[in-house]
Amino acid sequence: MVETSLSASPERVWRKVIVWIALFGIAGFAVRTGIDFRHWWFRTSIPVHFSDIERNWLWGAYTYYNIHDKGRSFLDTYDDVGIQDRNNRLWIDYAPARLAVNTLWVAYNHQTLPYQWIKRWNTTKDLDAIDTFYSFYRWFNTTIELLGVIAAFLLVHQVVRKTGASLEKSVGLGFLSGLLLWFNVAMINSAHGWPSGDIWIIPPFLWSVYFCRIDRWFLAGMVLGIGALFKGQQLFVMSVLILWPVFQGRWKAPLEMLLGFMTVFGLVTSGWTLTYIDDFGFRHLHFPATLTSGAPLILGLSLFILKWTRWSPKLAQVSIFPLGKWVFGLMGTLSFASMWVFGTCYAWFDASYLYGTDHWPKMIVGVTSNLPGLLQKRYGWSADQGPSVVVFQIVGLEITLRVFLLIILGFFFVLSGWALARQDKRNSTRFLVALVTPWLAFFMPSLVRFMNDISCLLQELRVFVSGIRWGTALLGGGGGVVLHRFNHLDDLADHVPEGGFELIRPIVTRIDPLAF
């Protein structure tokens, strides 16, 4: 028996080697095929995808030439705009990291191409020239997508492995989920068919959940902080990740997450929160705000010196890493609070996280079929009319539509946090279904008016989870619903084989009445 077992071992080893080689081969082929398909989709959709990306270039160019030609700072773009009138035709609603990417794009093109205004590339028929002009942005989006795919693989692998499944099964299902996400047409369309930064919300969210699963809550908070610097939408669902450990009675975990978040978010934005603009338009350091924000660092260094000199036996036992979490987390928190306490620069926060939610004169942007979109389509309510409709009264208190829907949203967030805690404790793959639930709740009743971003995210997460619970059943829905995110289907139809859209029009209309 022993000889048989030993003789079989080399076979099992070689079988595993062959399987892993095959997986790497499939992964390489999938990545190459996905990149080629994205390139084709970009070139096919060129006639319709210049609206959002023009604004990306516009603000990137404004910031770059502020720095390059005028010797000013990256920080000055938001303060030049100031607190924006919600009716402005020229507006900016980009978070700092998104503005930085746009600026880097302009800087890259400035070094590699003779400068020409973007309209030249819109009107040219030379697709290779257009490819060259937008290559930085396309490759950046592709890199972001790959980071999301890797996070999906690791997260699914970890969740399935915790159920007691074999390594082969957990790797296989993780690999399948990564493939489904990589070839999800919603993500491809958002990143390359209508190029924008909507998909930038995916990797930070998935990576943060993965770090939470392996009990790295401080790191998870840092990743969420990075994600919030790109896109602010995930700040809403961050509350669910905080409620998850709270329902499990782990109070230290959400605190560590908040400290990690403020370490990145608070310190990166300190260039605004610790400065002010004088009457002549010059930026100065706000010393009281800086001193207050730096107080935890001074205290932390003092404690480190006392620990190093072994002045106190108790301090000698204190670990440096937990001390550093508190020091930098408090520094970021105090820096962020300086905007309200000391009146430092605030325009960056207004543009990044407030302006985009309330400057549209509609209840919904685009044709996303969530509840506000259906109400707008059915009753013609505007953003001012709809939310102010009184739904009912309680003890003389009028509950408007906005408040009512926010109450529903809050209820589902709490329910989602409880579901995450329960499925995590049970080591169930239903955890991944619970992970999608808060985004679904956010999508359906919310009156926040950037639902096209959330629609994209929801479709991507649905297909990602389908690798675990539902096979490929949702792929058809993911492919069909994405079509309603294209606001210019008629333009795109010129580049699709004759009759193509007419064949799918009845099907898509049944799925989404507002699609066409």
For 159-176, the pLDDT digits (tens) are 989 988 888 888 888 888
Is 147 within 8 Å of 203 (Cβ atoms)? yes
Q: How many H-runs (helices) and E-runs (strands) does the chain carry?
A: 25, 4
Distance of CA 220 to the CA centre of its chain: 14
Lookup: tokens for 67: 């720095």
What are the distances in angstroms from CA 154 to CA 56, 151, 200, 222, 501? 32, 5, 18, 18, 37
**Which pLDDT score, from 0 to 100, does residue 338 have?**
93
Angle (CA) 193 232 423, round 5°: 95
Alpha helices in 359-513 (DSSP H): 371-379, 401-425, 430-443, 451-466, 475-481, 489-493, 500-511
Alpha helices in 217-352 (DSSP H): 217-230, 234-247, 252-268, 270-273, 287-308, 313-316, 320-341, 347-349
Is 222 within 8 Å of 260 (Cβ atoms)? yes
Q: How large is the average pLDDT for residues 61-87? A: 84
Please give the Cα distance from 261 to 298 (Å, whole number): 21
pLDDT at 188 > cutoff 90: no
**Which pLDDT score, from 0 to 100, does residue 376 have?**
67
For 301-319, the pLDDT digits (tens) are 777 776 666 666 666 566 6
**Which pLDDT score, from 0 to 100, does residue 336 have?**
93
> What pLDDT band is residue 87 in, cutting at 50, 70 and 90?
low
Mean pLDDT of the chain: 77
Please, is 361 exposed, middle or buried when counting C-beta atoms within 10 Å of its C-beta (0-12, 13-18, 19+)? exposed
Alpha helices in 124-191 (DSSP H): 127-162, 167-182, 185-188
Q: How large is the average pLDDT for residues 113-135? A: 67
Please give the Cα distance from 140 to 27 (Å, whole number): 20
Please give the Cα distance from 298 to 314 (Å, whole number): 20
For 451-474, the pLDDT digits (tens) are 444 444 554 455 455 444 444 333
pLDDT at 48 > cutoff 70: no
Please give the Cα distance from 234 to 454 (Å, whole number): 9
Max avg pLDDT among 132-146, 297-311, 363-377: 132-146
Q: How large is the average pLDDT for residues 235-264? A: 91
**Which pLDDT score, from 0 to 100, does residue 501 have?**
43
In this prediction, what percent of the chain has a pLDDT beyond 90? 27
**Which pLDDT score, from 0 to 100, does residue 359 have?**
65
Q: Which residue has tokens 């996905």?
A: 34
Q: Which of 479, 481, 478 is nearest to 516 (CA)?
A: 481
Is 168 within 8 Å of 193 (Cβ atoms)? no
For 405-414, the pLDDT digits (tens) are 778 888 888 9
How long is the chain? 516
Lookup: tokens for 273: 């929160």
Higher pLDDT, 458 or 149: 149
